[in-house]
Amino acid sequence: MKIAVYAFEGVSMFHLSVPQIVFDEVARQGLGPWWTTLFSERAGSITTAEGYSLGGVAGLDAVADADLIVVPSWVDDGREPGAALRRVVLAAHDRGSTIVGLCLGALAVADLGLLEGRSAVTHWHAVEGLARRHPGITVEPGVLYLDHGDVLTSAGTASGIDACLHVVRTRLGAEAANRVARSLVVAPHREGGQAQYIERPVAQHAATDPIAVATAWALEHLGDELGVDRLASEARLSRRTFVRAFRASTGTTPAAWVRSRRLDEARRLLETTDLPIDQVAASCGFGNPVTLRQNFASAFGSTPSSYRRRFDARA
């Protein structure tokens, strides 16, 4: 898969590197022939926000055969995309390319008209500006990324890593995304939204944080009953205090977190084992295949059996 990353004058090196680091790791791990290329309106070089000159940048013709086009951030003055860039990106979208706007790059994707009538997310400090600029877009400030299949947007800065790992997960499976995440030493999936990292960050050290103690225990006992009272007991907190602290720490509810972790484990088992579906359901705490199928279909739009056929990693 070819990924074209837009490199504009004044782009920060961090934003420009995020999609390259994640997607190039796919090839380094031997998971597939993925490669990235940088492009701009003119072939040659660009100057980054840090003042470095970056050469080897392709022209707009690099978009012609790209499967994924990433706008990793956007210009400081917030101007709309130029006519040439607009033309090639929209043409690529029309032929089936996926368009990704990371962080402030969501503003450019919105200006292209690809998000009208849809939901989107961007960096928290640009949320109100995006809503004013495009009242037809439902701006969701409390999530890390939003994927519509053909268009994806992410929240601020490091959330681009989450979004790129999501791309790997949807195309190559959870096990592949986990391998990439492990190699990069990042979490394969973060719960909650960007608000938890802005207003009330909570330390995640198992030795001192009762929520980390409870979640670490839960991950080892996904097949058990994991109600709020049981988790609160592991954290040695009252039910009310636990629920409040859990949301502050993770950005979600205990029930939603447990369900997501059980689905993660179900995907891993479906990809890497030949366990029957009923055993997968029991091992992950869903109790029976019907409950697993309902939750799996709601989360991934697929049945467990179809997912296994698509992402079986045992070969």
Here the CATH number for the domain that contains residue 138 is: 3.40.50.880
Q: Specify whether 19 is located in the same domain as 116.
A: yes
Q: Specify whether 7 is located in the same domain as 133.
A: yes
Please, what is the angle between helix 254-272 and helix 304-311, to 10°? 50
CA distance 148 to 86: 20
Q: Specify whether 87 is located in the same domain as 126.
A: yes
The answer to whether position 104 is within a domain reads yes
123 near 195, Cβ under 8 Å?
Answer: no
Q: Which of 184, 212, 229 is the last residue of a domain?
A: 184
- Which range is least confidently modeled, 68-77, 121-130, 181-190, 222-231? 181-190
- Residue 48 pLDDT > 50: yes
Residue 235, domain CATH:
1.10.10.60
Q: Specify whether 84 is located in the same domain as 146.
A: yes
CA distance 122 to 104: 6
- Which range is least confidently modeled, 10-24, 54-68, 103-117, 259-273? 259-273
Supply the pLDDT for residue 298.
87
- Looking at the DSSP bridge assignments, the partners of residue 223 are none
- pTM value is 0.71
Q: Specify whether 179 is located in the same domain as 204.
A: no
The answer to whether position 52 is within a domain reads yes
Q: Specify whether 58 is located in the same domain as 170.
A: yes
Q: 128: left (phi > 0), else alpha (psi -120 to 50), else beta?
A: alpha
The answer to whether position 11 is within a domain reads yes
Provide the token pair at 230.
Answer: 């049981």
CA distance 305 to 152: 27
- Which range is least confidently modeled, 58-62, 154-158, 202-206, 237-241? 202-206
Q: Specify whether 173 is located in the same domain as 267.
A: no
248 near 193, Cβ under 8 Å?
Answer: no
The answer to whether position 194 is within a domain reads no
Q: Specify whether 245 is located in the same domain as 303.
A: no
Q: How many domains are contained in the chain?
A: 3
Q: Cα(first)–Cα(last) distance of the chain, in Å?
A: 21
Provide the domain limits for residue 297: 256-311
- Residue 190 pLDDT > 80: no
Query: Could you tell me which residue, 192 or 284, shows the higher pLDDT?
Result: 284
Q: Is 57 helix (H, G, I), strand (E, B) or coil?
A: strand
CA distance 193 to 198: 10
Q: Specify whether 273 is located in the same domain as 304.
A: yes
Q: CB-based contacts of 77: which residues, under 8 Å, 6+ apart?
A: none
Q: Specify whether 153 is located in the same domain as 72.
A: yes
- Mean pLDDT value across residues 163-183: 92
Q: Which of 234, 251, 268 is the last residue of a domain?
A: 251
CA distance 119 to 113: 12
Q: Specify whether 56 is located in the same domain as 127.
A: yes
- Residue 205 pLDDT > 60: no
Q: Is 105 helix (H, G, I), strand (E, B) or coil?
A: helix
Q: Specify whether 67 is located in the same domain as 86.
A: yes
- Mean pLDDT value across residues 43-63: 96
